[in-house]
Amino acid sequence: MGLKNKNIGLIGTGKMGSSLIRGILKSNIVDSSNVYASDIYNQSLENLQNELGINVSNDNKQTVMNSDIIILAVKPQVIRKVIAGFKDEMTEDKLVISIAAGVPISEIEDELNSGSKLIRVMPNIAATVGESSSAICPGGNTTNEDVENALEIFKTVGTARVVSEYLMDAFTGVSGSGPAYIFPVIEAMADGAVYEGLDRKNALTFAAQTVLGAAKLVLETDSHPAELKDMVTSPGGTTIRGFHELEEHGIRSAFMDAVIESSKRSRELGK
């Protein structure tokens, strides 16, 4: 039971694949000798091998043959072609985990041999620093142990919970894509501080720590964000002046629309 002595394979070592490899190895749930990775981009493989000591190959079949759990971290647009290339190496004991945005479980199961075990996951790039929030959705042929293994892998890189598949597009909108909506917020807040005379390094550090602190307050207190906002906002003070400015620029609808459009795009990618 558990991941001890299991081999984990990554197909696709781009931004998300390499983020997961780094996160998983940092947690020591498996040894680097238990990790196999393949990609068509040689330089990223060579870098990962030199830096982390994992097994690498240009041949996805090698990864599948050597692995008990195979994480598919290629773009949704190529996932069907990638599966077609390795499906002959699949056996019923192997578990495939797809992190492709939008692509439904039924479509991937159709591409794999019948009876194949599949789990769909939506993590995010904060896996690199152990702070992903991953939504996990098991396919029909998986066992409780498979789900436990997937939870263990994705809990090493942040939080992870099992969700219903019909909500995966919404999780993609808010959490998969979400970090990209917050980075410009941090940069723009730092820009404001630079405008006011702070040096860039301090401006970025203070802006990022402020976002981290605000997120922790939401997660670790039972308070509604509006209540927390009111705690900062003194009557006639500094915060309400800044807040009025944000409201004038339609901050809430901008962020809501970003998540809604991202979720819509996730649904489109599945068609």
Ligand X SMILES: NC(=O)C1=CN([C@@H]2O[C@H](COP(=O)(O)OP(=O)(O)OC[C@H]3O[C@@H](n4cnc5c(N)ncnc54)[C@H](OP(=O)(O)O)[C@@H]3O)[C@@H](O)[C@H]2O)C=CC1
Ligand Y SMILES: O=C(O)[C@@H]1CCC=N1
- In the complex, what is the shortest distance from the CB of residue 227 to ligand X, in angstroms, rounded to a whole number? 31
- In the complex, what is the shortest distance from the CB of residue 35 to ligand X, in angstroms, rounded to a whole number? 15
Q: How far apart are CA 219 and CA 164, in angstroms?
A: 22
Q: How far apart are CA 44 and CA 14, in angstroms?
A: 7
Note whether 178 binds ligand X by CB under 6 A: no
β pairing state of 132-138 and 158-162: parallel
Q: Which of 20, 71, 101, 103 binds ligand Y (CB under 6 A)?
A: 101
Q: Which of residues 118-157 bind ligand X (CB under 6 A)?
A: 122-125
Q: How far apart are CA 22 and CA 48, in angstroms?
A: 9
Record the tokens describing residue 262, joined without a space. 């991202």
Q: Say whether 225 counts as a known binding-site residue.
A: no
- In the complex, what is the shortest distance from the CB of residue 142 to ligand X, in angstroms, rounded to a whole number? 20
Cross-sheet strand order for the sheet of 95-98: 55-57, 35-38, 8-11, 69-72, 95-98, 117-122, 132-138, 158-162
Record the tokens describing residue 243, joined without a space. 């807040």
Query: Residues touching ligand X: how many (CB under 6 A)?
Result: 27
Q: Say whether 12 counts as a known binding-site residue.
A: yes
- In the complex, what is the shortest distance from the CB of residue 222 to ligand Y, in angstroms, rounded to a whole number? 29
Note whether 9 binds ligand Y by CB under 6 A: no
Q: Which of 6, 26, 32, 40 binds ligand X (CB under 6 A)?
A: 40
Q: How far apart are CA 257 and CA 84, in angstroms?
A: 36
List interacting residues with ligand Y (CB under 6 A): 101, 172, 176-177
List interacting residues with ligand X (CB under 6 A): 11-17, 38-41, 44, 60, 73-76, 78, 82, 99-101, 122-125, 176
User: Binding-site residues for NADP(+), please?
Assistant: 11-16, 73-76
